[in-house]
Amino acid sequence: MILVAGATGSNGTEIVKRLAAQNVQVRAMVRVLPTYLPVDEADS
């Protein structure tokens, strides 16, 4: 099994597709963005 970090990016997506096409077990690591920004970070 291979872990692909950044699987939603352009390179990661291609890597996951190619591995899956070769029947390699793949796990995808993605970053979940918050639905809001804390007030002190919104002004940055």
DSSP 31: P
Q: Pick the residue with more confidence: 17 or 35?
A: 17
Distance CA 9, CA 25 (A): 19
> What is the C-alpha end-to-end distance of the chain, expressed in Å?
40
Note the pLDDT tens digit of each residue in 21-38: 999 999 988 877 777 766
Return the pLDDT at 33. Answer: 75
For 2-19, give the DSSP string: EEEETTTSHHHHHHHHHH
Return the pLDDT at 36. Answer: 73
Return the pLDDT at 37. Answer: 67
pTM metric for this prediction: 0.64
